[in-house]
């Protein structure tokens, strides 16, 4: 069983009963003890507060997304507005805003000069973090107004709600997957079998535990911690393959690179994003066209990983629903709008 601990408290050294120190030192120790007790009892609370605040911001962004996303609005404008709002509300993007249309299931973010406009079945995937404590949430918007789109969205949303209903630390991962699968199949659609939810830790979006969207015989219990559950429903075969490069990157190694330009940008990435995914658009804004050259060099040198777009293999439409859930003494959806 996994005990995911999102609030690491500082190790608390035991005081020896013998060798009692002189009074001045004793007083000092007492203060220190008090301080340490404070850290011990408050630090997890503070991290929990940040988790909840990040969730609240994501919930606000969900609402704002529904207000501003209309057919033909440039994706670039949507991404910029939503990411700016995250910052205004006191968070940072935990990854570039994803706006994936139709058969693209995930990992489309606009380029700095993107000309695409909103249409079709549009998935909005939102990441917010506060000091590395993450909220991850997604919704799907139907810009075609078709029955099938609406049903696909309903299937994903209901699968998510049914999964949330059964959540507790003792529930097995395959039972969550089974619930998602059965709900989506009851609508006559397929869940995407090779996309899954995930545990999250500080500055770590995909922290090790995978939450399946199908019954995969994984009997491990979910345990406590912070999790994203994200069912995908599709009219297609139910698998995604790698598509075009997404221009979304993540730092994988800080090793040195000869080019001074690439080094400058690498240093910026290390301090600004750490291990949080970022995109070409953000760096273009800061460094201009030289960022594009540097990103290529850094990827070739093995400093960066570039995510591919994820495309439904039979090129059929995909809907997604996602919330972040804190499983603790109780189960709380942090990103509900
Ligand atoms: Co996620």
Residue extents of the structural domains in the chain: 46-243+313-333, 245-309
Kindly give the distance from the C-alpha atom of residue 246 to the centroid of ligand 1, in angstroms, as a whole number.
16
Tens of pLDDT, residue by residue over 207-216, are 989 999 999 9
Quick one: CA dihedral 13, 19, 20, 22, positive or negative? negative
Are the CB atoms for 196 and 222 separated by under 8 Å? no
Kindly indicate the confidence band of residue 9, based on its pLDDT and cuts at 50, 70 and 90. Answer: very low
Kindly give the distance from the C-alpha atom of residue 128 to the centroid of ligand 1, in angstroms, as a whole number.
11
- Judge whether residue 249 has pLDDT over 50: yes
- CA 278 to CA 127: how far, in whole Å? 11
Q: For domain 245-309, is the CATH number 1.10.10.10?
A: yes
pLDDT for residue 23 = 43
Q: Which of 83, 103, 136, 215 is catalytic?
A: 136
Could you say which architecture CATH assigns to the domain 46-243+313-333? Alpha-Beta Complex (3.90)
- CA 337 to CA 330: how far, in whole Å? 19
Task: Quote the DSSP letter at residue 203.
Answer: T
- Specify the pTM: 0.86
User: What are the residues facing 310 on neighbouring strands?
Assistant: 106, 242
More confident residue, 329 or 169: 169
Residue 322 catalytic? yes
Residue 112 catalytic? no
Residue 31 CB neighbour total at 10 angstroms: 10
Residue 198 catalytic? yes
Domains 46-243+313-333 and 245-309 share a fold: no
Among 25-34, 36-45, 113-122, 233-242, the least confident range: 25-34
């Amino acid at each position: 069983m996994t005990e995911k601990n999102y609030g690491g408290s500082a190790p608390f050294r035991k005081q020896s009963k013998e060798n009692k120190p002189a009074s001045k030192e004793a007083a000092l120790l007492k203060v220190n003890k008090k301080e340490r007790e404070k850290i011990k009892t408050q630090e997890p609370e503070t991290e929990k507060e940040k988790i909840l605040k990040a969730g609240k911001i994501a919930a606000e962004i969900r609402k704002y997304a529904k207000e501003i996303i209309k057919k033909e609005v440039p994706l670039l404008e949507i991404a910029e507005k939503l990411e700016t709002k995250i910052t205004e509300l006191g968070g940072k993007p935990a990854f570039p805003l994803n706006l994936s249309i139709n058969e693209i299931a995930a990992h489309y973010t606009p380029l700095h000069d993107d000309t695409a406009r909103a249409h079709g079945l549009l998935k909005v995937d939102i990441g917010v973090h506060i000091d590395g404590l993450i909220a991850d949430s997604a919704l799907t918007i139907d810009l075609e107004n078709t029955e099938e789109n609406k049903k696909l969205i309903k299937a994903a949303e209901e699968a998510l709600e049914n999964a949330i209903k059964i959540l507790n630390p003792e529930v097995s991962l395959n039972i969550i997957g089974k619930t998602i699968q059965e709900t989506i199949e009851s609508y006559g659609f397929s869940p995407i079998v090779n996309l899954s939810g995930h545990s999250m830790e500080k500055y770590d979006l995909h922290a090790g535990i995978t939450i399946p969207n199908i019954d995969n015989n994984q009997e491990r219990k979910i345990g406590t911690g912070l999790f994203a559950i994200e069912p995908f429903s599709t009219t297609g075969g139910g698998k995604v393959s790698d598509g075009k490069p997404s221009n979304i990157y993540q730092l994988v190694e800080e090793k040195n690179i000869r080019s001074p330009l690439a080094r400058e940008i690498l240093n910026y990435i290390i301090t600004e994003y750490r291990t949080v995914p970022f995109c070409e658009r953000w760096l273009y804004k800061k460094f201009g066209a030289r960022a594009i050259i540097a990103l290529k060099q850094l990827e070739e040198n093995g400093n960066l990983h570039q995510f591919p777009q994820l495309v439904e293999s039979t090129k059929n439409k995909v809907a997604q629903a996602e919330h972040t859930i804190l499983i603790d003494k109780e189960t709380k959806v942090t990103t509900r709008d």
